[in-house]
Structure 1
Amino acid sequence: MAKPTPPLQQSQPVHSALSAVNITFLGTASAQPSSTRNHSSLALRLGGDVWLFDCGEATQHQVQRSTVKMGRIEKIFITHTHGDHIFGLLPLLAGRLNGAGGMVDEADETRTVDAANKQPLEIYGPLGTRAYVRSGLAYTHTLLGSPYVVHELRLPTDPPGASTALPPHACELPGRDIPLSDGVWRDILAAPAPSVSVSAAPLAHSVPCVGYVVSEAPVPGKIDAQAYVPHLRRTGTPLSAMRILQQGGCVELPDGTVLQGPARRPGRKIAVLGDTYDPAPIAALAQGADVLVHEATNAHLPGVDPDTKDAETYETLRARSMSRGHSTPQMAGTFARRVGAKKLLLNHFSARYAGNDDVDADARRIMEAIRDQAQGEFGGEVICARDFMSIDVPLPNT
């Protein structure tokens, strides 16, 4: 009989890979929405769960128009509290948590929330996120049918104990104030998942802003069945022992031979940055990212964009973008090269850049030029996002 034993490195358990990881852009505009781009929001699908990054105006409508399932949204990560990144949060909360308006006679409201037995929807964001949610729900008299919690990522310059003068909403559970440590917020999830962690870092913008890095735990390596099956058959060991080997464990055969499963390989890493003119503080966390999502608000496109002013140069446009806290495609490409990203996804485009480049030739020329500018600095694959674009993130081949 086979003598299966636990994995050799019991202190570093092997986790199965997520069944699927997908990024769907729900909004790719900056500042003003347009007929082809909604305000900022991105859905990250991890297996069956959905995590949103930013929640600009009309995100709830975008979810309804997409393949993203509202009921699957478990966490929302806000990068900063500018309106184009947060104005859609309250409507989405009401939709996700079975919200309703106040009753004529509040005593007639019979719905109760058993918060202790319901998993709350988790919201993460910088200082002000909790106050915004609490005030918005209070002054719109919004009732909810399920609990939520807001965790704030605090900077050393934030006032101690700062929150809001309003009392918590009836469905609000106590959230954490997470301090910056060594320049980053590491492993911020309140209830860490066995296969995914999230860390964050401050970004240079016109207001406090956060970038997030989602990291999958190491997963089982690729297994060559022909390296193991002959040994199992030779010793009469049930082929079910392959399950242990596939997870990186070891199996001792009746003749004393020990078979060791393949070494683990890195899981996926996805970096989602908020608005920024300098993302250097997140560089170490984002190193080697399989996907880097970076803004590219403004571009200098003489001969391509008819709105380009004759007196404008790349240098003057770059300086103007940075003064407003934003990046150009070249800046995004430079940072992607710095961190060794495998793929760069550009978003948060000025309203002057239409998002229907899949059907409009003029829009296509502009977006291709923006892509080429980033690619010239990066050297790797660059994709300019448009609303409802959906991109799978496969496991690395290594």
Structure 2
Amino acid sequence: MSALSSVNITILGSASAQPSSTRNHSALALRLDRDVWLFDCGEATQHQLQKSAVKMGKIQKIFITHTHGDHIFGLLPVLAGRLNGAGGMIDGVDDPRAQTSALPEDVPPLEIYGPLGTRAYVRHGLTYTHTLLGAPYVVHELRLPSDPQDGDYTAHPPHSYERPGRNILQTDGVWPDIYRDKLVAVSAAPILHSVPCVGYVVNELPVPGKMDPTEYIPELKRTKTPMSAMARLQQGEAVTLTDGTVLHGPARKPGRKLVILGDTYDPSPIARIAEDACLLIHEATNAHLPGIDPNTKDTDSYETVEERAKSRGHSTPQMAGAFATRIRARKLVLNHFSARYAGNDDVDEDARRVMGGIRELAESTFGGEVTCARDLMSFDVGPRREDWPGR
């Protein structure tokens, strides 16, 4: 396979610090064909997975943006559920699940990526809850220049099913290609929040261009070159015919780019690697909605709400829209809403009016498509940039 056939996002939680009856803590699932990657894992993410079409057993990677509880408190339950975990006795005495020597070395670990502290959080949580696992995991940490550049940053020994992780150092202010395979690459960069925070960029690698078989078949037949050469041409490769003629397949075209940000009042450090995103997911914690939100304070203004949001490390819809414009995104999904904004706008008229007002604020600074996240909302990502209308 040379290209992803399906890219889908399911919002598992769209709340900020406080969950509500209509919004869970932050988490989303990215489905790349059959594999699932989670981005953040707030409290009760495991419950949200059970309510969704996302299969727990398909989760291969978990990316944590920062270690605030509303983004990480659900990580240990998901990890234990995904890896067949269970409570055990201290030191696993007489418990066959603690016999890690029986686990084949070629079993791939579940991979976790996050900032400094992620490894210690997972290790200590599993250890002090005496959690036994049925498969391995690994934590890779994205280290800032001000962080320790090596070591685990914890004196506690690794959990019995923990595999050695990488400490990934920055290059020119970003973490390029923290993961890469034949179809997709992931890079990351710091974004500004009240604590160290990361934004992730998921790049589908260049895909085969459109091919007109009538340009190639006559030449293959003329030279009695096997028609199997068409498969190589479709991948953009050059094929030498039996008479020495060289045919070149269509140039490959850029794949889809997804930018998934954590909490931020200024994501400027990621802008360079986020340009031309098909999809930007950006927080919009606070909004000023006079005449729409009955909880709006008479003493507030657009300026005071923005300043208050920034002081807490967060953004308004207008700030999210401005960044979407800056990076030339095609679609903006607003996420991470204050508990005052109900997430049942699909059935409640008051909530629909409020979320419509939030969307319009983002549209005031961004001319593309804007969607407000709702828990268990699921949508496909596309098309690829070269296939955008008007290009």
TM-score by length of 2: 0.93
Counterpart for residue 11 of structure 1: none
Q: Say how many residue pairs are matched.
A: 382
Counterpart for residue 334 of structure 1: 322
Matched, 1:264 2:252: yes
Counterpart for residue 218 of structure 1: 206
Offset at residue 176 of structure 1 (A): 1.4
Greater displacement, 218-227 / 81-90:
218-227
The DSSP-based 3-state class of the residue aligned with 1:318 is: helix
Q: Which amino acid counterpart does residue 354 of structure 1 have in structure 2?
A: A
Offset at residue 363 of structure 1 (A): 1.0
Out of 138, 141, 149, the position equivalent to 2:138 is: 149
Q: Residues 361 and 242 of structure 1: is their aligned pair in 2 closer, same or farther, counting only changes over 3 Å?
A: same
Q: Residues 328 and 79 of structure 1: is their aligned pair in 2 closer, same or farther, counting only changes over 3 Å?
A: same
The DSSP-based 3-state class of the residue aligned with 1:85 is: helix
Q: How do 1:224-239 and structure 2 match up within 5 A?
A: 224-232=212-220, 239=227
Counterpart for residue 52 of structure 1: 38
Matched, 1:40 2:26: yes
Residues 359 and 370 in structure 2, CA contact (< 8 A), matched pair in contact too: yes
Counterpart for residue 173 of structure 1: 163
Following the alignment from structure 2 to structure 1, what is the Cα–Cα distance between the partners of residues 218 and 360? 51
Residues 120 and 152 in structure 2, CA contact (< 8 A), matched pair in contact too: no
Q: Which amino acid counterpart does residue 220 of structure 1 have in structure 2?
A: P
Offset at residue 258 of structure 1 (A): 4.0
Following the alignment from structure 2 to structure 1, what is the Cα–Cα distance between the partners of residues 40 and 91? 35
Matched, 1:186 2:184: no
Counterpart for residue 83 of structure 1: 69
Offset at residue 246 of structure 1 (A): 1.3
Out of 283, 288, 299, the position equivalent to 1:311 is: 299
Following the alignment from structure 1 to structure 2, what is the Cα–Cα distance between the partners of residues 16 and 209? 33
Offset at residue 244 of structure 1 (A): 2.0
What percent identity do the matched residue pairs reach?
70
Matched, 1:17 2:6: no
Q: Which amino acid counterpart does residue 134 of structure 2 have in structure 1?
A: G
Structure 1 runs of 4+ off > 6 angstroms?
none
Counterpart for residue 107 of structure 1: 93
Residues 24 and 390 in structure 1, CA contact (< 8 A), matched pair in contact too: yes
> CA offsets, 1:284-338, max 9 Å, x none?
0101111111000011111111111111100000000000000000000000110
Following the alignment from structure 2 to structure 1, what is the Cα–Cα distance between the partners of residues 378 and 5? 16
Residues 345 and 383 in structure 1, CA contact (< 8 A), matched pair in contact too: yes
Higher relative contact order (CA closer than 8 Å, sequence separation 6+): 1
Matched, 1:130 2:119: yes
Following the alignment from structure 2 to structure 1, what is the Cα–Cα distance between the partners of residues 91 and 257? 50
Following the alignment from structure 2 to structure 1, what is the Cα–Cα distance between the partners of residues 275 and 345? 31
Out of 50, 53, 61, the position equivalent to 1:67 is: 53
Following the alignment from structure 1 to structure 2, what is the Cα–Cα distance between the partners of residues 79 and 318? 22
The DSSP-based 3-state class of the residue aligned with 2:233 is: helix
Residues 254 and 386 in structure 2, CA contact (< 8 A), matched pair in contact too: no
Residues 125 and 151 in structure 1, CA contact (< 8 A), matched pair in contact too: yes
The DSSP-based 3-state class of the residue aligned with 1:215 is: strand
Out of 246, 258, 273, the position equivalent to 2:261 is: 273
Q: How do 1:347-366 and structure 2 match up within 5 A?
A: 347-366=335-354
Following the alignment from structure 1 to structure 2, what is the Cα–Cα distance between the partners of residues 175 and 106? 24
The DSSP-based 3-state class of the residue aligned with 1:363 is: helix
Following the alignment from structure 2 to structure 1, what is the Cα–Cα distance between the partners of residues 202 and 11? 16
Offset at residue 124 of structure 1 (A): 0.7
Matched, 1:27 2:16: no
Counterpart for residue 12 of structure 1: none
Counterpart for residue 3 of structure 1: none
TM-score by length of 1: 0.91
| Gaps in structure 2 of 5+ consecutive residues | none
Following the alignment from structure 1 to structure 2, what is the Cα–Cα distance between the partners of residues 57 and 83? 8
Residues 115 and 146 in structure 1, CA contact (< 8 A), matched pair in contact too: no
Residues 277 and 328 in structure 2, CA contact (< 8 A), matched pair in contact too: yes
| Gaps in structure 1 of 5+ consecutive residues | 1-14
Out of 137, 140, 154, the position equivalent to 1:164 is: 154
Residues 115 and 171 in structure 1, CA contact (< 8 A), matched pair in contact too: no
Following the alignment from structure 2 to structure 1, what is the Cα–Cα distance between the partners of residues 91 and 266? 52
